[in-house]
Structure 1
Amino acid sequence: MNAAPADQIRLLDVQGLDVRLQQLAHKRKSLPEHAEIESLTKDLTQLRDLLVAAQTEESDCGREQTKAEQDVDQVRQRATRDQQRLDSGAASPRDLENLQRELVSLAKRQGDLEEIVLEVMERRESVQERVTELTERVSAVQAKTDDATARRDAAQGALDAEAASVTKERELVAGSVPADLLKLYEKLREQQGGVGAARLYQRKCEGCHIELNITELNDVRAAARDAVVRCENCRRILVRTSESGL
């Protein structure tokens, strides 16, 4: 394949722009905010799970407290009715004796139930404090996540804008390269990890960084100026310049 030396030089410009696009894509993928957001999201998920568990426990304590308070109220009402009957004296001595015994039993029952109410209230208060603490921690981590997301989006936006500009420039430069030369370059670039053309600088291929031996140098020297030569080591297009050392 033959191509004007100037076209081959422009191919290096295309390669440089392609490398820049690769760098921008890598930088976009490797933004520190990605790992930060991932870590914060993991923390946020764990905290929200703990918060839901605490809220559920608080709700359960609330129902338990309501039930215990209702039990206390029922015992009080029963004791009030018994006391009224006892005070009225409108019962047989045996019934009055039974009422007295029942009032003693109800008083003990009421005391036991009130202890349960206090225990549940204390437990509920502790859980409510936990809910408040977790709610504040969730809000704090969410704020950090939002900040990291905003920073990531801003960084990605800047990189995307630069990539769009480089892509446009690449299209213009590539459009001035002969189609057959560009096609070969694209094929080699895909095969060679993103580098399809390399400069021959000081007798060394800048694609594989291997210095050409004397036989290879003589072959390159003997090639016509418009011949598209390839590196014998990496098979990339080898572009000759005034600094090639030939």
Structure 2
Amino acid sequence: MKAEPAAQARLLDLQELDSQLHRLDHRLRSLPEIVEAAELKERADALDAELITAQTRVSDVARHQRKAESDVDQVRTRAERDTKRLESGQITNAKDLQNLQSEIESLGRRQAELEEVVLEVMEQAEALNAEVSRLAEEREAAVAKFTEVTARRDTAAAEIQWDRTRLTQDRQRVAEDIPADLLGLYDKLRAQYDGVAAAPLRYGRCNGCKLALSTVELNEIRATPADEVVRCEDCRRILVRTEESGLGTPAAE
């Protein structure tokens, strides 16, 4: 493949722009806010699940408390009714009086037991309500932090995108100075070799693979016409001859 030396030199400008674009893409993918936002989102979702579970338990305990209080009211009402009957003097039969007194005592014990249940349930409800409050506060804090971090992430991403747009425009202008066949080869090699397709030959060394060329290879390149596109024998990238190549005066076409 042949191309004017100036067009080959423009490959180095293009490669520098592509390397900058690659670094910007890496910066964008590696923004610390991305990981932090994901962790905060996961934390907020976990707190949501815990909060729903705690709220469900609060509802269950509240229902249990209402049932226990209702049972206490029923026993108390029945005990009050029996006490009134006992105090009314209407019951004169000794056995009936004894049975009624026994029932009142039994109801008293039952009422005490049920009131203990109510107290236990109220304590459970108090603890669960405190847990709900704690989870709600933690979730609110996590959501607030998530909002803050995503805002910083989006700002940083926008700045990177602005730089990327500018570099992409510069790349388009540089690419216009390179023949289509040479540009096609460059793009093909860039996809094969980790984004680096063209490298300068500097002081007898390929700056793509960083290996020094042998004397035989340097002599072959020295004898190659300036408009001939040469490639590194080791890494197969395009080698661009420069004033720092150490070849002396390029061969004439």
| Counterpart residue number, 2:147 | 146
- Is 2:31 the counterpart of 1:31? yes
Matched residue of 1:200: which SS? strand
Letter of the structure 1 residue corresponding to residue 130 of structure 2: E
Matched residue of 1:245: which SS? coil
| Counterpart residue number, 1:47 | 47
Q: Distance in 2 between matches of 1:12 and 1:176?
A: 12
Whether the 8 Å CA contact 1:207–1:234 is kept in 2: the answer is: yes
- Which digits, 9 at most, give the CA deviation of each residue in 1:9-43, with x for residues without a partner? 11111111111111111110011112212222332
Letter of the structure 1 residue corresponding to residue 159 of structure 2: A
| Counterpart residue number, 2:97 | 96
Q: Distance in 2 between matches of 1:73 and 1:245?
A: 104
| Counterpart residue number, 1:230 | 231
Letter of the structure 1 residue corresponding to residue 116 of structure 2: E
| Counterpart residue number, 2:251 | none
Q: Distance in 2 between matches of 1:171 and 1:238?
A: 22
- Aligned pairs (5 A) from 1:116-127: 116-127=117-128
What's the C-alpha RMSD, in Å, of the aligned pairs? 1.2
Provide the TM-score with structure 2 as the length reference. 0.93
| Counterpart residue number, 1:204 | 205
Whether the 8 Å CA contact 1:89–1:96 is kept in 2: the answer is: no
Which segments of 5 or more consecutive residues in structure 1 lack a partner in the other structure? none
Q: By how many angstroms is 1:239 displaced? A: 0.4
Q: Distance in 2 between matches of 1:78 and 1:180?
A: 102
| Counterpart residue number, 1:214 | 215
Q: By how many angstroms is 1:92 displaced? A: 4.3
Provide the TM-score with structure 1 as the length reference. 0.96
Which segments of 5 or more consecutive residues in structure 2 lack a partner in the other structure? 248-253
Matched residue of 1:243: which SS? coil
Matched residue of 1:12: which SS? helix
Over the matched positions of the two proteins, sequence identity in percent amounts to 51
Q: Distance in 1 between matches of 2:205 and 2:165?
A: 33
| Counterpart residue number, 1:11 | 11
- Which digits, 9 at most, give the CA deviation of each residue in 1:91-123, with x for residues without a partner? 341333222111111111111111110111011
Matched residue of 1:239: which SS? strand
Q: Distance in 1 between matches of 2:159 and 2:203?
A: 37
